[in-house]
Amino acid sequence: MAAMAAVQPGYLGVESSRDSNGFGLTVSYWRTAADALAWKSVARHGLAQQRGRDEWYRYYTTRVATVERCYSHGD
């Protein structure tokens, strides 16, 4: 899905992390809310989401937010 998202209009990037207990977090970044909604409506993305719900994830949360600023420090 990451490669497919990367060619969608407005795609800015993705970050993902998983801990040793299996808790994971993936964040995708989009130029506009409309770009994010367009990605949500891509048919193969919807199929992948359904497969995730059916096969891998008992519980998940989706959050939609706006990043106003980002600061990086260190390596």
Residue 48 is part of a domain; what is its CATH number?
3.30.70.100
68 within a domain of the structure (yes/no): no
pLDDT digits (tens, 9 = 90+) for 36-71: 989 878 767 777 777 877 887 777 788 888 889 989
Q: State the pLDDT at residue 59.
A: 77
Structural domains counted in the chain:
1
19 within a domain of the structure (yes/no): yes
Residue in this structure with the two tokens 């990605």, named with its chain if needed: 39
Length of the chain: 75
31 within a domain of the structure (yes/no): yes
Structure tokens at 41: 């409506």
71 within a domain of the structure (yes/no): no
- Is 7 a residue whose pLDDT tops 80? yes
User: Domain span at residue 10?
Assistant: 2-55
- Is 20 a residue whose pLDDT tops 90? yes
Work out the pLDDT band at 35, boundaries 50, 70, 90.
Answer: very high
Other CB atoms closer than 10 Å to residue 14's CB: what's the count?
13
